[in-house]
Amino acid sequence: MAKPDIMNRHDLEIIVNSFYEKVKKDQTIGFMFSHVDWDNHLPVMYDFWDNVLFYTGNYSGNPMAKHMMAHNRNPMTREHFEHWLLLFFETIDGLYTGKNSKLLKERVKSIATIMQMKILGTHPTIPVVEAK
């Protein structure tokens, strides 16, 4: 059976929930999320990704500042960014396929690239996973 494409916020909530369930158990980056208040964090992530893909305007925040604080708490490496991206792409690909799925992966990769450049001060080598 063919997978559907991402069509709405509900689909993004499924992706976000599935992704963070993987992250919580992950040996490489899971520790970075041990302090997260999931009841508050997940709705923010739903709004963020809904805005990223569908331009809903329902997210207001400064993700770069949040990630800089996270980096100060637990220094991130290029490998952390690559692994985060791999898990995110695996999650999307495991659940959805189509135009919006590809677009979301392109935007995810762009965001990860910019964050890595600003946080680590290096030009990323993130083509580990390409959008299908």
Tens-place pLDDT, residues 100-111: 999 999 999 999
Statement: residue 131 has pLDDT above 80: no
pLDDT (average), residues 69-97? 95
**CATH fold label, 9-120:** Globin-like (1.10.490)
Q: What is the pLDDT of residues 6-65, one digit of tens each?
A: 999 999 999 999 999 999 999 999 999 999 999 999 999 999 999 999 999 999 999 999
Statement: residue 128 has pLDDT above 50: no
Phi (first) and psi of residue 76, to 5 degrees: -90, 155
Statement: residue 1 has pLDDT above 70: yes
Query: At a CB cut-off of 8 Å and minimum separation 6, what does 69 contact?
Result: none
Positive/negative CA dihedral, 132, 117, 78, 17: negative
Annotated domain spans of the chain? 9-120
Burial class, 92, CB count within 10 angstroms (exposed 0-12 / middle 13-18 / buried 19+): buried
Q: Could you tell me which of 29, 62, 65, 31 has the C-alpha nearest to residue 48?
A: 62
Q: How many helices (H) and strands (E) does the chain have?
A: 5, 0
How is the chain split among helix, strand and coil, in percent rounded to 5? 65, 0, 35
Band (pLDDT 50/70/90 cuts) for residue 124 is: low
Taking the CA atoms of residue 62, residue 13, residue 117 and residue 100 in that order, the dihedral angle to the nearest 10 degrees is -120
Between CA 99 and CA 25 the distance in angstroms is 30
Band (pLDDT 50/70/90 cuts) for residue 125 is: low
